[in-house]
Amino acid sequence: MRRRLLLLSMLTLASGYGQKKNDDKSVKIKPKAEFVADLMSKMTVEEKIYQLVQFSSDGTVTGRKSGDNYITRIQQGKVGSVLNATGAANNRMIQKLAVENSRLKIPLLFGHDVIHGYKTIFPINLGMASSFDPAAVEKAARVAAVEASAGGIHWTFAPMVDIARDPRWGRVSEGSGEDVYLGSKLAAANVRGFQGDDLSKNNTILACAKHFAAYGAAEAGRDYNTTDMSERVLRDTYLPPFHAAVDAGVKTFMASFNEISGVPSTGNKHLLRDVLKEEWKFDGMVVSDYTGVNEMIAHGFAKDDQDAAQLALNAGMDMDMVGGTFMNTLKKSYDEGKVSIEVINDACKRVLDVKYDLGLFEDPYRYFDEAREKENTYKPDFLEAALDVAKKSMVLLKNKNNVLPLKKDMKIAFVGPLASDEYNIIGSWAALGERDGRAVSVKEGVMNLLGANAKVTFDAGVELSGNKSNMMKAAYANALKADVIVAVMGERENQSGEAGSQTNIDLPGMQKEFLMQLRGLGKPIVLVLMNGRPLTLSWEDENIDAILETWWSGTRGGDAIAQTLFGDNNPNGKLPISFPRSVGQIPVYYNHKNTGRPYLGQSDSEQKYKSRYTDSDNSPLYPFGYGLSYTKFDYSNLKLSTAKLKFNEKLKISVEVTNTGNYAGDEVVQLYVKDVVGSVTRPVRELKGFEKVNLKKGEKKTVTFELSSDDLKFYNIDMQNTAEAGDFEIFVGGSSDATLNGKFELVK
């Protein structure tokens, strides 16, 4: 410790700026603009460029990483940020390399993917989105930030705010689903959670809105694939959650791997400079995705690393993640006049600004406190929060004859490869979340809830994805003796997520076949699903009595599932993404256009020349916003405060919701709007509000939404973002299929 104090005061003198210890309020440094300008006035062009370089540690301090001589380069001040180094002690050691050795002693920025928790793992993001509960999502991000910051992390590469309408794309698991409004609300909630109200507190971390942009629109759902879309679709559908993140104060952005209409996002000046930095006035920094700059060569957009680096920087990219292109070529491009000092200065300033915001110039070691780390890992209230969010993320898809909730004294055969699993249940991109031995499996959750007298058995029966069938015998024997069978089935945790695209999204391996055989026993069957994307479940929907979608539910997942199965938690999650009937229907999403020949379903008098499939319904199996409860909710008495809404006024929409069933429960009340005629065609309906209400048995509540013309804006025929006067229809209910409706006119 004495050595460190001495060292800190030497650093203060050497670098010209104060550095304070965690417990020491002493040295105050100059205001940001002045401080950063001073520092930059001392920097050479190379030193500025090196701030734009991120190296990967791959979890260790040694070894070959994103370039050779990792340690030496840090000591020489040639690295601005380090990826994937974790742990207070480890990161302090790396930070020392920079601040004790480099000429200007500029602290490193430590980034890591803290996607749905750091150690305490929350449900995957698609699961959290099912809660339709921004406060719960914010809380999860807050806990993750407290835990990660204590573990030496300054910066997370989250939230992923890509709109995703194609379940073949494995990364649907990482986002908030298909809807612009829900996606925007949850983007902002995540930013607030990670960044808190003051970035200079040492328990807040930089958030990163990714992947900018339209990454979720990859053709055919194949990861990294091309996207091609109109500027209108881009702005109406794919950009709003990013804009919401900027409005919430997000400090960093990550460019996406894909190209949009011929231009890779990494070198897309229109996106990065014109829209993000100029139009939206984003003052934070933009990082590329992992080797995204180099990949512009394979895209056929840059001829070599030097070309790629200058294209990226000029387009508005501030940091090269791992690719080494900025480090190796930007000085040459500067000497050759291909990049200006102004552009380098702008990028460097943005990087230094966020380091300043985090308080790193005051104390580069402020995130590296082992005592704090120990105290803030798997804290009881973090685990409690993980349980709470997991319970909110369960979606009940089917419940024939009220098979659920189960009675605690029933004889139950739990079968399926995930019934006792504590590895997959926390899902992919689980940062440092421990799996076996830490995560609560369904088996453990059931035993925690029912205790030793429980009449339950647990047998895998089949493998997750293989076709070994010799385990089925024991499962059958127990199923035969049971009152009810609970099949816990789904995907491998890393089957969805990055590079997890699939053409077949049925239950994998022999699981479906096993279910079919269990069906033959004639007992009630409950299917508990764990998966990172919508699956095709047409057979299951027809043949299985109850289906509970639990996604990957995190460290406390098994407790949340058990409490839901046995009725201690009444499920209230709603789908943030539609479940298709078959892969052939994809993309299927609720806010589609009507076409000139809309199909009205089986009752349509004209069946032939309509926009429809001849071998399938148009509708999804389970629509966006859908999810059942153990109780029932009735909607009535829809009232609008006016039939004519002026542009500068507000419309109040109220509806009565009554719990007419036998349990207390939460319901997500949803408001949809249809703009009937536009200068460009408008979707059949769009979510414009939601509110979760808790209703006791028999209770009635009035829910009121407010709408103004601002909520009705879109990019019109002249590409102006505006609302247009005319007729609107509204629908209120418990899913995107809501039928209770009203209308109003927007008037000048």
User: Which position has the token pair 């009449």?
Assistant: 455
Paired residues of 639 in beta bridges: 654
> Please, what is the minimum distance in Å from the beta carbon of residue 83 to ligand BGC?
6
81/95 with CB nearer ligand BGC = 81
> Please, what is the minimum distance in Å from the beta carbon of residue 353 to ligand BGC?
21
Do 148 and 202 form a contact (C-beta atoms < 8 A)?
no
Residues 6+ apart with CB under 8 A from 260: 213, 214, 227, 228, 229, 234, 268, 271
For ligand BGC, the binding residue among 113, 388, 491, 737 (CB under 6 A) is 113
> Please, what is the minimum distance in Å from the beta carbon of residue 31 to ligand BGC?
32
> Please, what is the minimum distance in Å from the beta carbon of residue 190 to ligand BGC?
14
Residues 6+ apart with CB under 8 A from 339: 310, 313, 314, 330, 333
Interface size with ligand BGC, residues (CB under 6 A): 6
The 3-class SS string of 706-723 reads: EEEHHHHCEECCCCCEEC
370/498 with CB nearer ligand BGC = 498
What Rg value do the Cα atoms of the chain yield, rounded? 27
- Among 336, 342, 478, 360, residue whose Cα is nearest residue 419: 478
DSSP one-letter code for 120? S
Q: Is 109 helix (H, G, I), strand (E, B) or coil?
A: strand
* Residue 459 engages ligand BGC in binding (rule: CB under 6 A): no
Paired residues of 13 in beta bridges: none
> Please, what is the minimum distance in Å from the beta carbon of residue 319 to ligand BGC?
12
95/173 with CB nearer ligand BGC = 173
Query: Per CB under 6 A, which of residues 176..235 are in contact with ligand BGC?
Result: 210
Residues 6+ apart with CB under 8 A from 478: 413, 415, 457, 459
> Please, what is the minimum distance in Å from the beta carbon of residue 528 to ligand BGC?
29
> Please, what is the minimum distance in Å from the beta carbon of residue 428 to ligand BGC?
11
> Please, what is the minimum distance in Å from the beta carbon of residue 157 to ligand BGC?
3
* Binding track, positions 663-702, relative to ligand BGC; x by CB under 6 A: ----------------------------------------
267/417 with CB nearer ligand BGC = 267
66/399 with CB nearer ligand BGC = 66
> Please, what is the minimum distance in Å from the beta carbon of residue 5 to ligand BGC?
35
| Element of type H or E holding 307 | helix 305-315
169/290 with CB nearer ligand BGC = 290
57/457 with CB nearer ligand BGC = 57
C-alpha to C-alpha distance for 94 and 570, rounded to whole angstroms: 48
> Which positions are catalytic?
289
Which amino acid would we find at residue 222? Answer: R
> Please, what is the minimum distance in Å from the beta carbon of residue 172 to ligand BGC?
13
Which residue has the CB atom at the shortest distance from ligand BGC? 157
Torsions phi, psi for 73 (to 5 deg): -65, -40
210/688 with CB nearer ligand BGC = 210
C-alpha to C-alpha distance for 275 and 532, rounded to whole angstroms: 32
Torsions phi, psi for 468 (to 5 deg): -75, 125
C-alpha to C-alpha distance for 274 and 268, rounded to whole angstroms: 9
DSSP letters, 417-479, are TTTT-SSGGG-SS-TT---TTTSPPHHHHHHHHH-TT--EEEE--S-SSS---TTHHHHHHHH
C-alpha to C-alpha distance for 311 and 390, rounded to whole angstroms: 43
* Residue 504 neighbours by CB distance under 10 Å: 9
210/338 with CB nearer ligand BGC = 210
> Please, what is the minimum distance in Å from the beta carbon of residue 113 to ligand BGC?
5
Do 108 and 71 form a contact (C-beta atoms < 8 A)?
no
C-alpha to C-alpha distance for 153 and 74, rounded to whole angstroms: 17
* Residue 157 engages ligand BGC in binding (rule: CB under 6 A): yes
Give Cα separations from 76 to 9, 102, 104, 472 (angstroms). 20, 5, 10, 61
Q: Is 652 helix (H, G, I), strand (E, B) or coil?
A: strand
- Among 215, 208, 213, 156, residue whose Cα is nearest residue 187: 208
158/394 with CB nearer ligand BGC = 158
For ligand BGC, the binding residue among 274, 434, 498, 699 (CB under 6 A) is 498
> Please, what is the minimum distance in Å from the beta carbon of residue 81 to ligand BGC?
12
C-alpha to C-alpha distance for 289 and 285, rounded to whole angstroms: 13
C-alpha to C-alpha distance for 397 and 306, rounded to whole angstroms: 52
C-alpha to C-alpha distance for 667 and 571, rounded to whole angstroms: 9
365/552 with CB nearer ligand BGC = 552
- Among 278, 343, 348, residue whose Cα is nearest residue 313: 343
C-alpha to C-alpha distance for 79 and 326, rounded to whole angstroms: 11
> Please, what is the minimum distance in Å from the beta carbon of residue 601 to ligand BGC?
40
Torsions phi, psi for 115 (to 5 deg): -95, -50
- Measured at the CA of 187, the angle between CA 158 and CA 309, to 5 degrees, comes to 50
* Residue 320 engages ligand BGC in binding (rule: CB under 6 A): no
* Binding track, positions 115-154, relative to ligand BGC; x by CB under 6 A: ----------------------------------------
210/349 with CB nearer ligand BGC = 210
290/590 with CB nearer ligand BGC = 290
* Binding track, positions 253-292, relative to ligand BGC; x by CB under 6 A: ------------------------------------xx--
User: Which position has the token pair 């991109």?
Assistant: 429
Do 630 and 405 form a contact (C-beta atoms < 8 A)?
yes
Residue-level length of the chain: 748
Binding stretches for ligand BGC (CB under 6 A):
113, 157, 210, 289-290, 498
